[in-house]
Structure 1
Amino acid sequence: MSGPPRDEPTNIVAARLIAENKHPDLRQEERIREAISRLQADVRKIQTEFNELDIALAIIPPDETPEAHLVEQLSQLVLQLSEAKDILADHVNCLARGRQIPVELMEIIFSMTMPPTDYVRPNALRAPLLLCQVCSSWRKVALVTARLWNSLHINPGRRRGTWKGFLESWLGRSGTGPLSLRFEGHQPELGPQPQLYTYFQDHILKIIVEDYSKRWRRLSLDVSAWSLTRLVYTSMPLLETLEVRVPRGSSGVFISSADAPRLRTVSLGAHTIPASVHVAWERLTHLHAASPLDLDQVFPLLAKCEKLTECSIELWRNNHIRSSQSLLPVRMIRLRSLVLSGSIGEDAISVFFENMDLPGLRKLELVNTMREPFGLSPQSPLASLARRSNLRILVLIGGKPLDGLFDTVVSIPSLREEVN
Structure 2
Amino acid sequence: MSTLSADRARLVDLEAQIVLLEHSPESRSQNQYSLSELHSQKHRVLERLDSYKYPVLTLPNEITIEIFMHFLPTYPLCPPLIGLLSPTFLTQICRRWREIALGTAALWRAISLNDHRIPFERQAHLCNLWLSRSRSFPLSVDYNNSLIEAQATEILSTLVPQRARWEHISLRFSISSLPIIEGPMPLLRSLNLYLVNFDLITAKVSSLDAPLLRTVVLNDNAAGHLTLPWAQLTALTLPGFFPRECVAILQHASNLVHCELKLFDDGVDVPDISLPSLQSLTVTGDAGPGFLETLIVPALRDLRVSESLLEPECIETLAAFISKSCCQLQKLCVEDVAIESRDSYRDAFPLITVSFDS
Between the aligned partners of 1:208 and 1:375, the Cα distance in structure 2 is: 48
Between the aligned partners of 1:229 and 1:332, the Cα distance in structure 2 is: 31
TM-superposed CA distance for 1:136, in Å, is: 1.6
- The Cα offsets for residues 181-212 of structure 1, whole Å up to 9 and x where unpaired, read as 12346564xxxxxxxx84x76554333222x1
TM-superposed CA distance for 1:120, in Å, is: 3.6
User: What is the percent sequence identity of the aligned residues?
Assistant: 25
> Is 1:178 paired with 2:116?
no
Listed as ranges, the matches of 1:11-50 within 5 Å are none
Structure whose alpha-carbon radius of gyration is higher: 1
Q: What residue in structure 1 maps to residue 226 of structure 2?
A: 277
Q: What residue in structure 2 maps to residue 110 of structure 1?
A: 68
Between the aligned partners of 1:331 and 1:86, the Cα distance in structure 2 is: 62
Residues 246 and 253, structure 1, Cα contact 8 Å, conserved in 2: no
TM-score, normalised with respect to structure 1: 0.64
Listed as ranges, the matches of 1:301-380 within 5 Å are 301-321=249-269, 324=270, 328-343=271-286, 348=289, 351-368=290-307, 375-377=314-316, 380=319
**SS where residue 242 of structure 1 aligns?**
strand
AA partner of residue 323 (structure 2): S
CA distance change for structure 1 residues 233 and 185 in 2, over 3 Å: closer, same or farther?
farther
Q: What residue in structure 2 maps to residue 45 of structure 1?
A: none
Residues 238 and 246, structure 2, Cα contact 8 Å, conserved in 1: no
Listed as ranges, the matches of 1:221-232 within 5 Å are 221-230=171-180, 232=181
CA distance change for structure 1 residues 294 and 137 in 2, over 3 Å: closer, same or farther?
same
> Which segments of 5 or more consecutive residues in structure 2 lack a partner in the other structure?
1-39
Q: What residue in structure 2 maps to residue 216 of structure 1?
A: 166
TM-superposed CA distance for 1:319, in Å, is: 4.8
CA distance change for structure 1 residues 103 and 373 in 2, over 3 Å: closer, same or farther?
farther
Q: Which moved more, 1:117-126 or 1:307-316?
A: 117-126
- The Cα offsets for residues 32-82 of structure 1, whole Å up to 9 and x where unpaired, read as xxxxxxxxxxxxxxxxxxxxxxxxxxxxxxxxxxxxxxxxxxxxxxx99x7
TM-score, normalised with respect to structure 2: 0.74
> Is 1:408 paired with 2:348?
yes
AA partner of residue 127 (structure 2): L
- The Cα offsets for residues 239-290 of structure 1, whole Å up to 9 and x where unpaired, read as 111111122235265224xx21112211013x53633332111221110012
AA partner of residue 145 (structure 1): T
> Is 1:390 paired with 2:340?
no
Q: What residue in structure 2 maps to residue 244 of structure 1?
A: 193
TM-superposed CA distance for 1:133, in Å, is: 1.0
**What is the CA RMSD across the aligned residues, in angstroms?**
3.4
Between the aligned partners of 1:395 and 1:86, the Cα distance in structure 2 is: 54
> Which segments of 5 or more consecutive residues in structure 1 lack a partner in the other structure?
1-78, 189-196
Between the aligned partners of 1:404 and 1:127, the Cα distance in structure 2 is: 49
**SS where residue 123 of structure 1 aligns?**
coil
TM-superposed CA distance for 1:163, in Å, is: 4.8
Residues 374 and 399, structure 1, Cα contact 8 Å, conserved in 2: no
Q: Which moved more, 1:201-210 or 1:170-179?
A: 201-210
Between the aligned partners of 1:221 and 1:379, the Cα distance in structure 2 is: 37
